[in-house]
A and B are shown apart, each in its own frame.
Chain A
Amino acid sequence: AAGVIQSPRHLIKEKRETATLKCYPIPRHDTVYWYQQGPGQDPQFLISFYEKMQSDKGSIPDRFSAQQFSDYHSELNMSSLELGDSALYFCASSLSYGNEQFFGPGTRLTVL
């Protein structure tokens, strides 16, 4: 069965650089969520989209933005990267609300 696809899997950036993370949800899933997991931490919700509209926003810095495109894939744009942004970034998708959220393999971002 098709799963959530994230790219790239690993990313190394310097401070103050920008990064773009991509997420391709499971086919027919219309809801996408982004989570951040720091080392030894539990995942924290960043932002979500339903039918290409932002549906909720969590602890996402103003330096970050995201969108969901017409084909339902989503991109998380991160600017002015800081050392503290080093983390695993997960995308999850679900079929509408209140159903199972299936996670992608994550993008490991390292900021040097």
Chain B
Amino acid sequence: SQQGEEDPQALSIQEGENATMNCSYKTSINNLQWYRQNSGRGLVHLILIRSNEREKHSGRLRVTLDTSKKSSSLLITASRAADTASYFCATGGMDSSYKLIFGSGTRLLVRP
């Protein structure tokens, strides 16, 4: 990946458990966005957190951002089988277009 790594690369949990995914990046950012992708399909926007924010919630999702460590985490609480997907973090930089640079993704499997 151009930007960094996501950890773990793959995660298998039981329905009802929480899932935590971590993302590290290399450069200064304006924002960080998390996406979900079901196998070979579109990227669904989950949440955006700006560089001056530390934590954000949306439903069962909680995102944290630590700009000093250049890292972010996505927590999915009370997971469901339908949460099975790949999750990508993507950083929007400080350049002219705020293009997104994606991490390598975490493949999440939620077992029913």
Contacts and interface: CB of A to CB of B under 8 A. Distances in A.
| Real binding pair | yes
A18 interface: no
B100 A101 contact: yes
Contacts of A45: 99-101
Interface in A1-59: 31, 33, 35, 42-45, 48, 50, 55-56, 58
A34 to B, nearest CB: 10
A93 to B, nearest CB: 11
Q: Is the interface of A mostly helix, strand, loop or mixed?
A: strand
B29 to A, nearest CB: 10
Given A35-B100, A42-B105, 8 more contacts: A43-B43, A48-B99, A56-B96, A92-B43, A98-B98, A99-B48, A103-B44, A106-B42
Interface of B: 1-2, 30-31, 33, 35, 40-45, 48, 88, 90, 92, 95-105
| Closest 7 pairs between A and B when the two form their complex, measured CB to CB | A56-B97, A42-B102, A103-B43, A55-B97, A105-B42, A48-B97, A97-B98
Interface of A: 31, 33, 35, 42-45, 48, 50, 55-56, 58, 88, 90, 92, 94, 97-106, 108
